[in-house]
Structure 1
Amino acid sequence: MGTSTESLEFELLPYKHTPKKGLPTAGLKGEVGHFGSVTVERCPLHRPLAKGMDTARLSGAAFPETVFRGKRRSGQPSLFKAELTLDGRNAELRFNAKALKRDDRVLRIAYDGREYVYSSEGLGKANVLQREGVRISVALGRQIPPADLARAGTATGPVDAVDLAIAIVLEEVDTDVLTLTGAALSSPFALMQHFSDRAD
């Protein structure tokens, strides 16, 4: 898993796959410079046996297998009850849902001696993953007919496959609560979440 040049641009395209047998999948796929192809997939169907949890899974020859699990919200896993693993090893996730300042509403990720901060620049704006010397920004890209949007990514610094895997898998996670607007819009959900957590 080598490092990249100082700047790397990539595009992720939405896809849906509905097999004749088995569960449908949806997600993002694309080519990420010399790291090659990457796919993030999740099942868009609600599955009662999953107990309200949902999973986004990233795969690609140059990438660690990356799995994000969280409470299902808007057809995606969310930051509630979230777990992130890379090649079967857990990352530590910290998020303060009560923070009122945007700078404090960030997802902190610790993995393999690295400390990441993942933030949103606002609803519909770029999501940014940073660690010392490295920054990966993923924003909404061009329109894909009939009604979808690509994602446009830019990575700067000595980026490696672990950095990219984390930033890309989070594009299939509901991270609206990282913005105050998103948190306000989801507050009825958050309240229900609070009660369901206490009932567990």
Structure 2
Amino acid sequence: MDTSSESLTFELLPYRTAPKKQLPTAGIKGDVGHFGSVVVERCPLSRPLDKGMDTARLSGPAFPETVFRGKRRSGRPSLFKAELTLDGRAADLRFNARALKREDRVLRIAYEGREYVYSSEGLGKANVLAREGVRVSMELGRQIPPAHIASAGTATGPVDAVDLAIAIVLEEVDTDVLTLTGAALSSPFALMQHFSDRAE
């Protein structure tokens, strides 16, 4: 069966909860074609005990539990000091924060023999996760009143739950530094980060 022409489109909606007895949660959720439901959850509040770190956690019946952890920035985990695990197994992350060309400012992810490249086409544009034969693109979708925007996903090739889990969890991560504009906007932050890292 030829799977190279397969294409899957899906939409994820932002959500926020404010339970009385637990910490509030925020993130995205929706149905991803025949893979079914998925939820990415993070805590929008800063928690002093986490030492400036933040976590986004993806779960769904057909997906590996996927946890992304990184330095907290603009209410989300960022690519600084980042860790990614799927079902408890760690992925290897490589990112050159000093690269000047857009094609060099990518996040490289190695997991279980797979090599991924995660890139941004620019602030407000699509983020793309790719490995050989597979591409998952996430971009801004329709506006949801009053002030939310859905995430629109398109997957091509023989995509599986691992590909989708990585691409979707990264939607709740601050990846602005993958663009030169985002890096320039965050450079005061990067400088503070540098000093706080040395102080630890």
TM-score with structure 1 length normalisation?
0.97
Map residues 89-168 of structure 1 onto 2, 5 A cutoff. Answer: 89-168=89-168
The one-letter code sitting in structure 2 at the alignment partner of 1:168 is I
The one-letter code sitting in structure 1 at the alignment partner of 2:108 is R
For 1:10, what is the secondary structure of its paired residue? strand
Separation in structure 2 between the aligned mates of residue 32 and residue 118 of structure 1, nearest angstrom: 20
Q: Deviations over 1:127-167 (max 9, x none)?
A: 00000000000000000111010000000000000000000
For 1:196, what is the secondary structure of its paired residue? helix
1:43 maps to what in 2? Answer: 43
Map residues 64-103 of structure 1 onto 2, 5 A cutoff. Answer: 64-103=64-103
The one-letter code sitting in structure 2 at the alignment partner of 1:154 is T
5+ residue gaps, structure 1: none
- Deviation of residue 199 (structure 1)? 1.2
Structure 1 86/139 Cα, relative in aligned 2: closer, same or farther at 3 Å?
Answer: same
2:52 maps to what in 1? Answer: 52
Separation in structure 2 between the aligned mates of residue 30 and residue 5 of structure 1, nearest angstrom: 24
| 8 Å CA contact 1:106, 1:118 repeated in 2 | yes
Give percent identity, aligned residues only.
Answer: 87
Structure 1 77/44 Cα, relative in aligned 2: closer, same or farther at 3 Å?
Answer: same
Separation in structure 2 between the aligned mates of residue 81 and residue 4 of structure 1, nearest angstrom: 35
* Residue correspondences, number: 198
2:26 maps to what in 1? Answer: 26
Q: State yes or no: 1:182 paired with 2:182.
A: yes
- Deviation of residue 4 (structure 1)? 9.9
- Deviation of residue 5 (structure 1)? 7.2
| 8 Å CA contact 2:4, 2:133 repeated in 1 | no
Bigger Cα displacement from structure 2, 176-185 vs 17-26: 17-26
- Deviation of residue 105 (structure 1)? 0.0
2:196 maps to what in 1? Answer: 196
1:12 maps to what in 2? Answer: 12
For 1:15, what is the secondary structure of its paired residue? strand
Aligned-residue RMSD, C-alpha: 1.1
TM-score with structure 2 length normalisation?
0.97
For 2:197, what is the secondary structure of its paired residue? helix
